[in-house]
Amino acid sequence: MTPTSSRAGRRLVAVALPVPIHGTFTYSVAGDPPAPGTRVRVPFGRQERIGWVVGEGSAEGVSKVRPVLDVLDERPSIAPELLDVCRWMAQYYAAPPGLAIAATQPAVLSDVSRDYIGLDGEPPAEAGSRVVRLVDALREGEAGSLHRVATLRKRLGMGSIWPEIRALKAAGVLRHEVVPPQEPSVKTHRVVRTLRDLPDLAERDEIFGRAHRQREAWAALEDASGRLELSHMLDVGGFSRSVVSGLEAKGLVEVVDEEVVRDPFADRDPPAPIDHPLTDDQRRALEAIRAEIGADAPRPVLLHGITGSGKTRVYIEVLKAVIARGRGAIVLVPEISLTPQTVTRFRGWFGDRVAVLHSALSDGERYDAWRQLHRGEKTVAVGARSALFAPVANLGAIIVDEEHDGSYKQSDAPRYQARDLAVVRAGLNRAVCVLGSATPSLESWANAEKGKYQRVSLPVRVAGRPLPPVHLLDLRKERSKPKTAGGAASEAGLVLTDRLVQAVLARLERNEQSILLLNRRGYASFVQCRECGEVGQCPNCSISLTYHRRTGRVVCHHCRYEEPAPSRCSRCGSTDLSFRGLGTEQVERVVVESFPGARVARMDVDTTSGKWAHHEILGRVERGEVDILLGTQMIAKGLDFPRVTLVGVVNADVGIHLPDFRASERTFQLLSQVAGRAGRGELGGEVLIQTSLPEHYALQSALDHDYPGFARRELEERLNPPYPPHVRLANVVISSPDDNVAADQAEAAVAWLRHGLRNGPAVTIVGPAPAPIERLHGRWRWHFLLRAARASDLGRVCRGFVRGFQPRGHDVRVALDRDPVAL
């Protein structure tokens, strides 16, 4: 028996399964083994799973090899090139290989969570509250009907419900069926189509009489060239089903099923592209990038272009060059920038070649876009983070816009950084990778300084438009002024200074638009002196101390340093300390009170929960229906509204005190990005930043629009104590429902590592300490950092740790995050 064949005619294959286990699984298959990247259905414990063949299997150490149940693809669903990316990802991020692959594929292709359960008898009278909740949920709908376990679990928000399912099974009152997975269906939509015209008014009056809603529905259909999706008429148009039925009964419309490719952007007609001649800077940047397109080993390009410098136009020319060579391309944009505004710009140039991958797409919509790329019907993928894995054949370019953006980091396993993986995937394909930003991440900037990346710059805005002047308004001075009628105050102190109020009033008078930013994140409280602006910092970590209300202490989340919450300022001795920040909701109230009659829109996580909610708000701004747009960082990115002539930052200090070594970098990026929203049109603009720390270098650099100056200073700050990009980090979070267990196991993990590291590579451990978010989803979290000068040393330790360390105790989870963006 050779390692790769078990019985005559049967071969062994290694299968990666989407489960959080490090390693692959061996199964046997009749005849020729399927090519790597092919999906197979296999037994797994008492369940079934879909996984991917990744190579030859080995029977070593396996007592009984089970057979593959089904080979699901004729042609592998993952190309060899992308499979290599998955291998790299699993290795580098120390992630389970099956989860790495699953992250690159549409969910429907590996979805076997098709366990269905239903009640089959009377449940026992004595049952725990979780069982009772499950039983209640099962009783909904028709008696005896089956419910999908995955859906139930999500709806109940209970985490795993298998213990409860087992309890009910043991009591003999549960039916459990596993429905075999099928190829995801091609979807049809109900569509309303008009069957005739109603050209003259008299006929209309006669037909509709007093049926006003029918008449309006008819007009809506006419406006839409005689065809609307039924759901659109009901949800967006607000017509009831009976109105549509009325039209049907009159023989005016039919309601039919239409097979559609689900593409929510398809309805919009892209505008014809404007073919401005390139500026000299744009041409220079383009030439540098083009030279890499044909190269044997193209060097990644960092396109450092200030806001409004025309980076998008450079991307478009790069895409043209790539397409002209018969190659495909991927464009990544931050989730929040994936607006119709962005999409139509690419659609305008490349029309039907473009597939859009948006996280707000349903699984089906996503699958449709994926299939079109997989079949080669589309060759350009535009999308957020996971679009990096689009099945684009013969890849010629990957463009990462706003490359510094935090949304490129995936927060669940495999915790990859799409910007870095873009460089990897491009490298494997000899494709050019363009990283664009006005405020590059310091990691990319350092790579450019080292010559690993080629740097090209667009230092001025197009059409000679100046960057808007920036003014810092010192909140310490403003606060001591007597309040005037226009100045608004609240319990959280001064919200809008007089100067900012006057500036907004001037815009309202001129019918121009204002943007007000406040990036307030709820969990981060801090202690700041009202007199001198001082914020309590950890003596060891150059990280601000977080105030813990429960214990009345301030704590460093890196090294566990802590002390009682101060009663007076450590710098000036003042007892006038402030313990809380201010949120957008409160600012909204102040704004509405201060500017009666102004049309105010607020955009933050709370107001944009709907699928297209933020597109809807931005649409209103674009159409001039909003005078003041207020919000968090969401409003800072990628928007191009020429009538916005004022940007006001309500409090620039909010982010600077987060317990995170990137706090200054984020603040500078945010201020620069939001400042870039002002003065993009002919009307010009200005930026007013309220702050208690006007001397801080992040603010001073933003004032001067000076990215290189900021980067120089910040790189210095990160030398001591050392932080990326000078060193490499991994963050390990140990969590458990029990605080003591989490703490114990974090200590155990560190002890395990120290033991292994005694003679090992140069990896330092910092911590353990309670995680900045100590409790999340009912779990207590402790964390520690692994720090190394060399990526390879850190990688070895990370892989050894995730494979070797076994936490003890009930329900303990270990999460390792390499190159973390949040600690």
Q: Which two three-digit tokens encode residue 419? A: 């910007």
Q: If residue 163 lies in a helix (H) or strand (E), which one and from where to where?
A: helix 162-170
Does residue 529 bind Zn ion (CB under 5 A)?
yes
CB of 644 to ligand ADP, least distance (A): 13
Does residue 339 bind ligand ADP (CB under 6 A)?
no
Does residue 337 bind ligand ADP (CB under 6 A)?
no
Please name which of 50, 10, 55, 14 lies closest in space to residue 35, comparing C-alpha atoms. 55
433 labelled binding-site residue: no
CA–CA gap between residue 66 and residue 679 (Å, rounded) = 66
Which option in ligand ADP, Zn ion, none does residue 224 bind, with CB closer than 5 to 8 A by kind? none
Which is closer to Zn ion, CB of 566 or CB of 724? Answer: 566
Positions 313 through 332 that interact with ligand ADP (CB under 6 A):
313
- Going from the C-alpha of 595 to that of each of 175, 500, 598, the distances in angstroms are 61, 12, 6
CB of 567 to Zn ion, least distance (A): 12
CB of 476 to Zn ion, least distance (A): 10
Which option in Zn ion, ligand ADP, none does residue 534 bind, with CB closer than 5 to 8 A by kind? Zn ion
Reading phi first (left if > 0) and then psi (alpha if -120 to 50, else beta), residue 432 is in beta
Q: What is the 3-state secondary structure (H, E, C) of 357-403?
A: ECCCCCHHHHHHHHHHHHCCCCCEEEECHHHHHCCCCCEEEEEEECC
CB of 450 to ligand ADP, least distance (A): 25
CB 50 within 8 A of CB 105: no
559 labelled binding-site residue: yes
CB of 745 to Zn ion, least distance (A): 22
CA–CA gap between residue 484 and residue 495 (Å, rounded) = 13
Does residue 150 bind ligand ADP (CB under 6 A)?
no
Which is closer to ligand ADP, CB of 310 or CB of 772? Answer: 310
CB 400 within 8 A of CB 436: yes
Q: Cα-flanking dihedrals φ and ψ of residue 67, to 5°?
A: -85, 150
Please name which of 336, 339, 324 lies closest in space to residue 294, comparing C-alpha atoms. 324
Please select the residue that binds ligand ADP; options are 28, 38, 282, 407, rule is CB under 6 A.
282
Positions 446 through 465 that interact with ligand ADP (CB under 6 A):
462-463
Q: How many residues bind Zn ion (CB under 5 A)?
A: 15
Q: Which two three-digit tokens encode residue 408? A: 């490129």
541 labelled binding-site residue: yes
CA–CA gap between residue 229 and residue 75 (Å, rounded) = 34
Does residue 468 bind ligand ADP (CB under 6 A)?
no
CB of 535 to Zn ion, least distance (A): 10
Positions 550 through 589 that interact with Zn ion (CB under 5 A):
556, 558-559, 561, 569, 571-572, 574
532 labelled binding-site residue: yes
Positions 598 through 657 that interact with ligand ADP (CB under 6 A):
640
CB 652 within 8 A of CB 689: yes
Q: How many residues bind ligand ADP (CB under 6 A)?
A: 15
CB of 701 to ligand ADP, least distance (A): 19
- Going from the C-alpha of 260 to that of each of 189, 190, 365, 630, the distances in angstroms are 7, 10, 10, 37
Does residue 229 bind ligand ADP (CB under 6 A)?
no
Q: Cα-flanking dihedrals φ and ψ of residue 20, to 5°?
A: -80, 55
Does residue 271 bind ligand ADP (CB under 6 A)?
no
Q: Which two three-digit tokens encode residue 40? A: 């197979």
Which option in Zn ion, ligand ADP, none does residue 559 bind, with CB closer than 5 to 8 A by kind? Zn ion
DSSP state of 124: P
Burial 681-692 (b: 16+ CB within 10 A, else e): eeeebbbbbbbb
Does residue 276 bind ligand ADP (CB under 6 A)?
yes
CB of 409 to ligand ADP, least distance (A): 22
Does residue 71 bind ligand ADP (CB under 6 A)?
no
Interface segment toward ligand ADP; rule CB under 6 A; list 190-198, 278-286, 380-388, 412-420: 278-286
Please select the residue that binds ligand ADP; options are 6, 26, 105, 309, rule is CB under 6 A.
309
Which is closer to ligand ADP, CB of 405 or CB of 744? Answer: 405
CA–CA gap between residue 602 and residue 584 (Å, rounded) = 8
Which option in Zn ion, ligand ADP, none does residue 531 bind, with CB closer than 5 to 8 A by kind? Zn ion
Please name which of 701, 735, 737, 740 lies closest in space to residue 717, comparing C-alpha atoms. 701
Which is closer to ligand ADP, CB of 662 or CB of 680? Answer: 680
Q: Residue 177, SS3?
A: strand
Which option in Zn ion, ligand ADP, none does residue 312 bind, with CB closer than 5 to 8 A by kind? ligand ADP
CB 272 within 8 A of CB 348: yes
Which is closer to Zn ion, CB of 558 or CB of 615? Answer: 558
Q: Which two three-digit tokens encode residue 544? A: 């601000």
Burial 418-441 (b: 16+ CB within 10 A, else e): bbbbbbbbbbebbbbbbbbbbbbb
798 labelled binding-site residue: no
529 labelled binding-site residue: yes
Which is closer to ligand ADP, CB of 464 or CB of 564? Answer: 464
CB of 162 to ligand ADP, least distance (A): 49
CB of 462 to ligand ADP, least distance (A): 4
Which is closer to ligand ADP, CB of 4 or CB of 312? Answer: 312
Residues in the chain: 823
Which is closer to ligand ADP, CB of 155 or CB of 276? Answer: 276
Please select the residue that binds ligand ADP; options are 308, 468, 536, 772, rule is CB under 6 A.
308
CB atoms within 10 A of CB 125: 5
CA dihedral sign, ordered 754, 759, 761, 763: positive
Cis amide linkage into residue 123, ω under 30° from 0:
no
CB of 663 to ligand ADP, least distance (A): 25
Please select the residue that binds ligand ADP; options are 24, 307, 379, 645, rule is CB under 6 A.
307
Does residue 278 bind ligand ADP (CB under 6 A)?
yes
Cis amide linkage into residue 414, ω under 30° from 0:
yes
CB 108 within 8 A of CB 184: yes
Interface segment toward Zn ion; rule CB under 5 A; list 171-179, 356-364, 534-542, 754-762: 534-542
Note the residues at the interface with ligand ADP (CB under 6 A). 276, 278-279, 282, 305, 307-313, 462-463, 640
Question: What residues are designated binding site for Zn(2+)?
Answer: 529, 532, 538, 541, 556, 559, 569, 572
What residues make contact with Zn ion under the rule CB under 5 A? 529, 531-532, 534, 538, 540-541, 556, 558-559, 561, 569, 571-572, 574
Residues annotated in a binding site: 529, 532, 538, 541, 556, 559, 569, 572
